[in-house]
Structure 1
Amino acid sequence: MGFLLILQTATIVAVIAIAVQLIRYLRLKRLPVLTGGSVAPGFEEIERVFRSLHEQGLEAGSAFAVYYKGQKVVDLWGGYANYDEADPWLEDTMSLAYSSTKGVVAICIAVAVDRGYLDYDQKVSHYWPEFAQNGKENITVKQLVNHEAGLPVLNRKITTEILKNPEEMNKLLSETTPVWEPGTAHGYHGMTFGWFLSYLIKHVDPKHRTIGQFLQEEIADNFGIDFFIGLPKEEDYRVAKSDVSPWLFFKMMLSAKYRPLGINILFRPNSLISRAIRVLGSFGSENVYQYRSLEIPSANGIGTARGLAKLYAILSNGGEWNGKRLLSNNLVKKFKECNEKSEDKVLCKLNNFCHGMHPHFLITGLPDTYTENLFGHYGHGGQGAFFDEKSHLSFAYITTKLSPYGSGDDGRYQALVKPVLETINKLKNK
């Protein structure tokens, strides 16, 4: 009888949720289709695809930007920053990048290595003595950025109070025990990646800044990159509202690729992915400033697609931009050096990492050669930002209408990236 009651309750909740989503979808369909921006000659197909995605109601608000050979060739935005209020997405509207933030963090670490603050092959405990506890004494910087440290979960939850207290955060991170022997496997450090690397930066940076502060002062301000980890209050008005659906994990069940992950998240509370998600305490809704102001370097970077694409454009240009150098070319090439592709202990799928970046997955209908030199990072809901140094190409996509496909297989993302790669291939062959 108890089981039947639970089933009936779940069914009622599901019907209500579906009805709410349907009402919101129909409302979005009634709003005028708004898109703006520009494309360079030869890239018109990307603009057509972008507008089509909005016309079909597949977007609430999104932006897509492409740089090629040091020039911005695509800069598009559309939809609504807040579709409930019918506020249009403007040229300077920003959005949560989710795990695409990790690629930005990886760049910050590379800058620190380039300046001699860090060495990828050195032990983390060499820079951060308190880290050498509970089996972590031999973890290297490279293992930490490549998700090999066995630290996807912490000994206890992080709360807002702990996050705002550097001494408590340092203590919690230092005391955490690996859940597998470091260096023997990899598993996605979904939430912890950014915090461990931020506190590593704090220990080696001469000014003892967090990674958000380091990003802003050493990279964003110097190169005009519109991206933040820890949003200033005066920038909050520009941030779009994310469409946070509680049904994303259930939608994973419809995909054979994502079904094992969805099952672990929903029905196996002791699985690594469930425990990794529960690392977060109560931080409040991601659509409020309280959350946006925090530094969660794995997940809450906020910026424009244009800003992300420009940051990766610097890498695609060998680390230099308009006479200023961000990274040496040797450090840029580190993002092409990946650990062995094998079963990810957290995500339950084949995976690998490249000094904090991902190799790009294949695009349906394109030869493997089109993506073999692309490196960057995907994000929850469909986000993605990548660069190809060989082709001098970079691009970034951000969206507020979140899908369950966050590993490059979001249909909208693929629809936009495919004509970009086709166009670049044609230009190279002229």
Structure 2
Amino acid sequence: MNETPAADGSGCIEPGFDRVAKVFDEQLERGLHFGAQLCVKLNGRTVVDRWGGYADDGRRRRVSATTPFMAYSTTKAFTATCVHKLADEGALDLDAPVAKYWPEFGARGKGGITIANVLLHQAGIPGKATIGDLISWLSPRGGAKRAAALVPEYEPGTAVVYHPFSGAFVLGELIRRASGMNASDYLTESFLEPLGMADSYAGLPFGEYGRASRIYTADPEQAAARRVFSNPLYRRLFLPAASLNTTARDIAAFYEMLLQGGAYERRRYLSAATVAKATTMRYEGPDGGTGMRVRWAMGYGLGGYSPFPDRDIRHMGRGATEKTFGHSGQGGCAFGWADPPSGLVFSFTCNRFQELRSAHERFQELADACWSVLGL
């Protein structure tokens, strides 16, 4: 690839993908990102590797390709993939009740909730999605205990309502019980280290905090989020729902592995059958909490639609279909997805929150630029 300067950073692009880099640079110039990274692969080849902006709001540290960013709910796809790996190995049965592996969870009307229900946001225990609520989940084991004490808000399996925190804590506890390792160690040993994700941390060590990106927001209503997500103690924890620290390059490697049916660089991580089953659409319709249209596979969101009833905004771009799978993070600050039919992998990180609609527009601009190169 040719080295070319980004708006205020660096990067590499392959001929033909100049439009993608241009959109990324324009978004930086417009202030949509304070600092950001973008990595795009096509048929296993990196075609865009771009970064720019600042890692801190004091403008003292520029973003590099290896600056760790918070992935927020993009983390959920990594946690779900750990569960699928354990199912692949026979340690978990996705159709079995959670209580089969975690008897205490079955209390208070939760005995029939299956692992599949949790992966599909059908467990009936969505809880709240506020910063104050997140703080109360901050201990991984404490979060698991809190999940075990929840009472279903609706009949499990009858509706899809996005579970911002609780569902992933249930999955994290299942990982611990099935593997004998906490979710952080299992994710690290099963995927992050062997995939060469050298700048990804399921719990950011204090020694790495100095080079990690901080959260930027000029909105006073986001001040609490900024304090929490930029706190080194929070970054040190691994919350299965929302606290992977990673880079666009590393997210791309992870999704390339899934795109290739669970294999990457001569190593198999999951069976192709498991990946196909995990990424097949299981639900399309309204989210019972927000009313917005959603498409879900088993732990991954899908493309090819707009969640907004009044406007056609597609966060995976207009070339995506129900076969395009991935997961985004809060405020549009992280996203990773793969499209098996085209061989396209897209990954993005940034440190500036946007409200949901603006975040989707930001993603669509970048994704559409990628699809346009393919004539889609």
Same fold, TM-score > 0.5, yes or no: yes
Cross-structure match for 1:241: 214
Distance 1:169 1:411 in 2: 33
Aligned counterparts, 1:346-385, within 5 A: 346-362=289-305, 370-382=320-332, 383-385=334-336
CA distance in 1, matches of 2:313, 2:107: 49
- 1:131 Cα shift? 1.2
Partner of 1:289: 232
Give, in angstroms, the shift of residue 175 of structure 1.
2.0
Instruction: Return structure 1 stretches of 4+ with deviation > 3 angstroms.
Output: 157-166, 168-171, 244-249, 281-284, 361-372
Is 2:360 the partner of 1:410?
yes
Q: Does 1:212 align with 2:163?
A: no
Find the counterpart in structure 2 of residue 43 from structure 1.
17
Matches within 5 A, 1:161-180: 163-164=138-139, 166=141, 168-180=142-154
1:118 Cα deviation after fit: 1.0
Query: What residue in structure 2 maps to residue 229 of structure 1?
Result: 202
Q: TM-score, normalised by structure 2?
A: 0.87
8 Å contact 1:212–1:295 — kept in the other structure? Answer: yes
Asked if residue 330 in structure 1 is aligned to residue 273 in structure 2, the reply is yes
Paired AA for residue 286 in structure 1: F
**Aligned partners of 1:212, 1:61: CA distance in 2, in Å?**
26
Quote how far apart the aligned CAs of 1:247 are. Answer: 5.6
Give 1:369 deviation, angstroms: 5.2
Q: Distance in 2 between matches of 1:282 and 1:390?
A: 37
Look up the SS of the partner of 2:187 in the other structure. helix
Mapped to 1, the partners of 2:67 and 2:137 lie a distance apart of: 31
Shift of 1:234: 2.4
The 3 A distance-change label for structure 1 pair 213 and 160 is farther
CA distance in 1, matches of 2:135, 2:226: 6
The one-letter amino acid of 2:366's match is: L
Provide the rounded CA distance (Å) in 1 between the counterparts of 2:143 and 2:330.
Answer: 25
The alignment status of 1:131 with 2:74, answered yes or no, reads no
> Which of 25, 38, 43 is equivalent to 1:64?
38
1:243 is aligned with what amino acid? Y
> Taking structure 1 as reference, are residues 345 and 39 closer, same or farther at Cα in structure 2, changes over 3 Å only?
same
Sort the Cα spacing of 1:169 and 1:374 in 2 relative to 1 into closer, same or farther, 3 A: closer
Offset from partner CA, 1:102-153 (integer Å, 9 cap, x none): 1111211111111111121111111111111111111111001110001112
Deviations for 1:261-280, whole angstroms, at most 9, x for unmatched residues? xxxxxxxxxxxxxxxxxxxx
1:303 to 2:246 alignment: yes
Is the Cα contact below 8 Å between 2:57 and 2:216 reproduced in 1? no
> CA offset at residue 245 of structure 1?
4.8
Alpha-carbon separation, structure 2, partners of 1:285 and 1:301: 14
113-122 or 137-146, which deviates more: 113-122
Determine the C-alpha separation between the residues in 2 that align with 1:164 and 1:405. 27
Q: Secondary structure at the match of 1:76?
A: strand
Task: Give per-residue Cα distances to partners, 1:223-274, cap 9 Å, x unaligned.
Answer: 112322321222222211111454668xxxxxxxxxxxxxxxxxxxxxxxxx
Rounded to whole Å, the distance in 1 between the matches of 2:58 and 2:304 is 34
Q: How far 1:347 moved relative to its partner?
A: 2.4
- In structure 2, how many angstroms separate the alpha carbons of the residues matched to 1:120 and 1:78? 41
Output the CA distance in 2 between the equivalents of 1:78 and 1:337: 35
CA contact 2:287–2:293 (8 Å) conserved in 1: yes
Aligned: 1:141 with 2:91? no
State which structure, 1 or 2, has the greater radius of gyration over its C-alpha atoms. Answer: 1
The aligned amino acid for 1:222 is P
How has the CA–CA distance of structure 1 residues 415 and 173 changed in structure 2, closer, same or farther, with 3 Å as cutoff? same
Counterpart selection for 1:420 from 351, 367, 370: 370
Deviation at 1:410, TM superposition (A): 2.7
Per-residue CA deviation, residues 350-406 of structure 1 (Å, 9 max, x unaligned), is: 223210100124486999654342110111111321011222221111111110027
Q: Deviations over 1:50-103 (max 9, x none)?
A: 112222233210111011111111111000011323321112111111111111
Question: TM-score normalised to the size of structure 1?
Answer: 0.77
Aligned residue in 1 for 2:309: none
Which amino acid in 2 is paired with 1:421? W
Q: Which runs of 5+ in 1 are unaligned?
A: 1-31, 250-280
CA distance in 2, matches of 1:37, 1:368: 25
Question: Which of 343, 354, 372 does residue 286 from structure 2 map onto?
Answer: 343
Q: Identify if the C-alpha distance between structure 1 residues 365 and 146 changes in structure 2 by more than 3 Å, giving closer, same or farther.
A: closer
Query: How far apart are the structure 2 equivalents of 1:93 and 1:411?
Result: 24
Return closer, same or farther for 1:98/1:126 CA change in 2, 3 Å cut-off: same
Aligned-partner Cα distance in 2 for 1:52–1:70: 26
Structure 1 residue 424 displacement after superposition: 2.9
Question: Percent of aligned positions with the same letter in both sequences?
Answer: 29
Amino acid across the alignment from 1:377 = H
Q: State the SS of the aligned residue for 1:187.
A: coil
What is the deviation of 1:411? 2.5
- Once residues 414 and 248 of structure 1 are traced to their aligned partners in structure 2, the CA distance between those partners, rounded to angstroms, is 25
Question: Are 1:360 and 1:372, in contact at CA under 8 Å, matched by a contact in 2?
Answer: yes
